[in-house]
């Protein structure tokens, strides 16, 4: 009799454990790993280490719609973003990623949601110093490795005589110019405007565009090519919802980017 009771107790206990496991799993949100770089005003950390910025808040709002927890992960080599997606290290690249032919061939890309252009950044004292390809002879020029900025430098005659060096982020390029270890960098106009116009650490730099620089770039979210779980469609549906209900406009306005949205 005691053995039968013991078996019933053990069976009941096992059932409780199984139910708790199922309920716990149901309560957990799937995590969306978002690959980013430190890129004000898109993704950057506040004083408490929380990731904020247009892209950060945008991603979190999409996460709410999808019922997914959003986790940000820094991508240290922007030139390997396709590998980051293919390896599963991140689910998406969401950090001012410019849509171009190469990326469209190697990854899935969401609906374009924002425009950007490129800008040259130099110290204010050198604003009128570098006007022609001859002026740039021997100039120390830096840009983010694997980026469309690097593509521009390598394909544009204006930069043909410069001494180009790839760095690991746009922010690093800005810091190198400020420190004097580089004479010039090419960055996204959004970043240049954010950091220089803020009147802080980069107030001794200036930015300007040139006819040779692309001005019609658009940003999108990158996912692994041919990913079969419907993530790309879900992202596009969520983007449309945030556009239609005004949330995306509100976030963009908060960071001074309202006019840059693709309508």
Q: Which is more confident, 103 or 9?
A: 103
**pLDDT tens, residue by residue, 43-70:** 999 999 999 999 999 999 999 999 999 9
Looking at residue 209, what DSSP letter applies? -
Is 123 a member of any domain? yes
Instruction: State whether 104 and 48 are in the same domain.
Output: yes
Query: In 10 A of CB 131, how many CB atoms?
Result: 11
Domain count along the chain: 2
Instruction: State whether 223 and 234 are in the same domain.
Output: yes
Instruction: State whether 131 and 255 are in the same domain.
Output: no
Instruction: State whether 123 and 187 are in the same domain.
Output: yes
Instruction: State whether 222 and 99 are in the same domain.
Output: yes
Instruction: State whether 69 and 99 are in the same domain.
Output: yes
Is 5 a member of any domain? no
Q: Give the residues across from 114 on adjacent strands.
A: 219, 261
CATH number of the domain within which 85 lies: 3.40.190.10
Instruction: State whether 124 and 189 are in the same domain.
Output: yes
**pLDDT tens, residue by residue, 170-202:** 999 999 999 999 999 999 999 999 999 987 889
Is 191 a member of any domain? yes
In this predicted structure, what is the pLDDT of residue 199? 79
Is 4 a member of any domain? no
Instruction: State whether 192 and 123 are in the same domain.
Output: yes
Asked whether 95 and 39 are in contact (CB, 8 A), the reply is: yes
Is 90 a member of any domain? yes
CA 183, 181, 117, 192 dihedral sign is: negative
Instruction: State whether 123 and 203 are in the same domain.
Output: yes
In terms of Cα–Cα distance, which of 65, 116, 74, 66 is closest to 94?
74
Instruction: State whether 58 and 99 are in the same domain.
Output: yes
In this predicted structure, what is the pLDDT of residue 215? 84
**pLDDT tens, residue by residue, 92-139:** 999 999 999 999 999 999 999 999 999 999 999 999 999 999 999 999
In this predicted structure, what is the pLDDT of residue 12? 53
Instruction: State whether 54 and 39 are in the same domain.
Output: yes
Residue at a domain's end among 180, 208, 236:
208
Instruction: State whether 111 and 122 are in the same domain.
Output: no
Q: Which is more confident, 255 or 214?
A: 255
Q: Which is more confident, 251 or 79?
A: 251
**pLDDT tens, residue by residue, 25-39:** 444 459 999 999 999
Is 9 a member of any domain? no
Q: Domain residues for 223? A: 30-115+218-260
In this predicted structure, what is the pLDDT of residue 216? 83
In terms of Cα–Cα distance, which of 77, 89, 95 is closest to 31?
89
Which region among 80-84, 173-177, 213-217, 242-246 has the lowest average model confidence (pLDDT)? 213-217
Is 139 a member of any domain? yes
């Amino acid at each position: 009799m005691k053995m039968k009771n013991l078996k019933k107790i053990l069976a009941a206990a096992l059932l409780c454990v199984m139910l708790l496991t199922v309920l716990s799993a149901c309560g957990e949100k799937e995590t969306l790993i978002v690959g980013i770089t430190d890129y004000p005003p898109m993704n950057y950390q506040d004083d408490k280490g929380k990731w904020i910025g247009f892209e950060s808040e945008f991603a979190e709002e999409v996460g709410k719609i999808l019922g997914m927890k959003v986790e940000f992960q820094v991508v240290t080599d922007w030139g390997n973003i396709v590998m980051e997606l293919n390896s599963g290290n991140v689910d998406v690249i969401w950090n001012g990623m410019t849509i171009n032919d190469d990326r469209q061939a190697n990854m899935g890309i969401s609906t374009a949601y924002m425009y950007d252009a490129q800008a040259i950044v130099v110290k204010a004292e050198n604003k009128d110093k570098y006007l022609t390809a001859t002026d740039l002879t021997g100039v120390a020029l830096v840009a983010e490795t694997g980026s469309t900025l690097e593509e521009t430098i390598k394909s544009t005659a204006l930069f043909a005589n410069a001494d180009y060096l790839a760095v690991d982020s746009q922010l690093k390029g800005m810091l190198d110019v400020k420190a004097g270890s580089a004479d010039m960098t090419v960055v996204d106009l959004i970043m240049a405007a954010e950091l220089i116009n803020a009147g802080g650490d980069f107030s001794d730099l200036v930015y300007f565009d040139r006819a040779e620089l692309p001005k019609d770039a658009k940003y999108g979210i990158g996912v692994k090519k041919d990913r079969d779980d419907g993530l790309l469609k879900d992202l596009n549906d969520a983007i449309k919802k945030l556009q239609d209900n005004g949330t995306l406009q509100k976030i963009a306005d908060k960071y001074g980017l309202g006019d840059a949205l693709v309508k």
